[in-house]
Amino acid sequence: MQKAQRKGYVLDTHRLCNPAQTLAAVRPHLAGMGITRIANLTGLDRVGLPAVMVTRPNSRSVAVALGKGLTLEAAQASGVMEAIETWHAERITLPLRAASYLDLRQEALVADVERLPSVTGGSFDPHHPMLWIKGEDLASGQPHWLPYEMVDTDYTARPCGGQGAFPRTTNGLASGNSLAEATCHAICELIERDAITLWHHAPPGPRINPGTIEDLRCRAALERFSAAGLDAGVWNIASDTGVAAFHCMVCEAGSRPGHIGIGSGCHPDRAIALLRALTEAAQTRLTYISGARDDLDPDEFTAEASAERVQYVRALFDRSEPTARMQDCPTYSSPSFEDDLAWLLSRLGDAGIEQVLTVDLSRPGLGISVVRAVIPGLEAPHDDPDFIPGPRALSAAGAQA
């Protein structure tokens, strides 16, 4: 890891430097990565929380990345960095190794494949050769090999040298102004998706009482939804990791039809975690309004689908009263990403997570850090089409029964 540096931007997320500095550093590389446009979507909705789309037409995954924040520059930096990280993961140049799991583990440390998420129709064969990529286990500091198909995001073909046994998503892929910054973002994303999956497999619990939210930035974001005639509900979804995580849902007040917004956020600092959930909910509304994402299903824009989404959100509102207190949610604040990382590893360890694997995908000379994190034991996103619930999700569902 690089020498610890103080965070220079802490408004709506934490970064080493402010959005203008981040954009200035990466702008010379955008054309080379195929990024052709950064478009402001904010004015298409009446909420007013900034959101942008970033287009990369020759992408090997999705051609449109999205960004959000409390300022337009923050949203632009968010969207651009998302496009940059997927570009890196589509074009991995690191050495790979072909071997069966059983052979590889005889001479090297390997990911705990039994705790990795499974997928529908997939079956892992420990005797069958496949491609592996070397990463580092941050929990032990030792090099470990992990399945290449969980790191690569070139979705134009079947997984290269893989078995199709593990999820192929961008979950746990993150970029930043430093390796520590990118690593913290990647780990928080994995914790967030695990927390959402657990929440969906158990009763929703009470919503956060907005009157207990003291952070002025969060209150201002919620007031924007209210002024736009929208109802917003926030749930504390922090899991046994003890890292702050929230889920936010937004829909038209009353029973009026319209686009919904769904957002989630995870961060050591609970105010930042909530801000990320709120701004993502606004971004989701704009995603539907603009139709910007090339992975949106046309069926989602039918009147029936829209009505079903609104009914789903309103039912959640009706089933959970706003009685939870923001002050009861976990929080941690530090001046550096190195401190955050140490705290995150400690929290994961206390939750029984034994490996935290990362692969540094950064390209020399670009000055941009990109990390893919894989954490055996955490659940995959519940809304992946090939999702299979793992032990944690099954346990949550069992507790509900």
20: left (phi over 0), alpha (psi -120 to 50) or beta: alpha
User: If pLDDT is split at 50, 70 and 90, which confidence band does 300 have?
Assistant: confident
pTM, two decimal places: 0.97
**Residue ranges making up the domain that contains 323:** 202-328
The answer to whether residue 194 is domain-embedded is: no
pLDDT for res 1: 46
Q: Rounded CA gap, 103 and 183, in Å?
A: 30
Write the pLDDT tens digit of every residue in 216-255.
Answer: 999 999 999 999 999 999 999 999 999 999 999 999 998 7
Indicate if the pLDDT at residue 400 is higher than 60: no
The answer to whether residue 355 is domain-embedded is: no
Write the pLDDT tens digit of every residue in 158-186.
Answer: 888 999 999 999 999 999 999 999 999 99
The answer to whether residue 268 is domain-embedded is: yes
Own/partner long-range contacts of 7-10 (Cβ < 8 Å, ≥24 apart) = 7/335, 7/336, 7/337, 10/272
pLDDT for res 401: 45
The answer to whether residue 382 is domain-embedded is: no
The answer to whether residue 296 is domain-embedded is: yes
What mean pLDDT value characterizes the chain? Answer: 96
Total domains in the chain come to 1
Q: Domain of 284: which CATH number?
A: 3.30.160.660
- In one-letter notation, the amino acid at residue 169 is T
The answer to whether residue 278 is domain-embedded is: yes
Write the pLDDT tens digit of every residue in 26-78.
Answer: 999 999 999 999 999 999 999 999 999 999 999 999 999 999 999 999 999 99
Q: What is the mean pLDDT of residues 308-315?
A: 91
The residue count of the chain comes to: 401
The answer to whether residue 242 is domain-embedded is: yes
The answer to whether residue 108 is domain-embedded is: no
